[in-house]
Structure 1
Amino acid sequence: SVTRMNLNGPKMLVNSDGSQIDWEFLITDMRVNVTSKTSSGAMVIGAEGHGGTLGLEAFESGNNTPEKMGEIAGKNAKEQLQAKSCPAGKFRALVEEDLVGVLAHESFGHLSEADFIVTGGSPLTDKVGTVLGTEHATIIDGGIPDIKKFGGLWLPYDDQGTATNQTTVLEKGVLKHYLHNRG
């Protein structure tokens, strides 16, 4: 299956601090899923996708055409059909950069958001200054990434009208900041 989503249009924000902000936002996303069945009847899904603050031209060449994403998703499904279960345990891993970004986003990004921190719903609550990773790990959140180089979403302001900037969440393995903007 192929799914494409487009969101675009004006975003306006007025708040009691006197902010009156408007900008045009654009999000385009395409996902391809290939479903296969193992000989025992178990279903596996191979997936591939691309998205962010992009126009449709981002899907016209390279690995981002629907056809190429379909090939990659099919290859992923085929690999899953032949895959063996991984042993449980703690292992060292060499991980490709896109997956590192996803892991950082899921493990530190969401768990550092203010709503999880102030309610105590995050395991990172009260952990600023704590060593949580290797000295080789630094995670920086920014609302205005280099879209052509890294992809992602262009968010010049948050939903409270505060201009986005870079926040160092984890520096050399130490939790430095949460993702909130008002104290």
Structure 2
Amino acid sequence: MGEVEQRVQLQEVETKLQQHIALAEEALNKRKRCLSKQLSMCVAPRDIAWERKKKQEGRTRTRTRRNSFHVCDDVTDDDLHELKGCIELGFGFNEEDGQTLCDTLPALDLYFAVNRQLSPVSTPHSRPSSSFGSPTNAPSQPPPDSDSWKICSPGDDPEHVKTKLRHWAQAVACSVMQSH
């Protein structure tokens, strides 16, 4: 093989190498565009959720009567999801000690209201669980009036009623989870 033939082969190899590099750069550029597009799609819902949570935290919460279910007006699905996660991780809440956490976990108000309403009815003769306070240690409370059991009133917006019922059911589920 002569020197000329070697140079020709070397030039062909260099040309093929440059073509492969160009193809690799093109593929890399396509991947970068797809990746950045997917990233931007993920950021938008997170930012929306953050703004919603920030607005919610900025509002002042008004406390209603202790035996009322109206405490769930300010509770969101995210709040109940946080409470459920805490219970799943093994955290227990009792009303006496848990009041200081109500600003951190807004769903605790609803959770405590559900416990107040359901504990005497669901377990009248059983031993209470120490994880959410025992009715025998607490002072006896008079039976709640019929208004305290109302989740909605006539004429309420059906979507609002549906949301309140869903939140109440989730709080009941959290109460049952913690008692087992």
- TM-score when scaled to structure 1? 0.24
Query: TM-score by structure 2 length?
Result: 0.24
Q: Say which one has the larger Rg.
A: 2
Q: Which has the higher contact order (CA 8 A, sep 6+)?
A: 2
Structure having the larger proportion of residues in strand: 1
Normalized per residue, which structure has more helix? Answer: 2
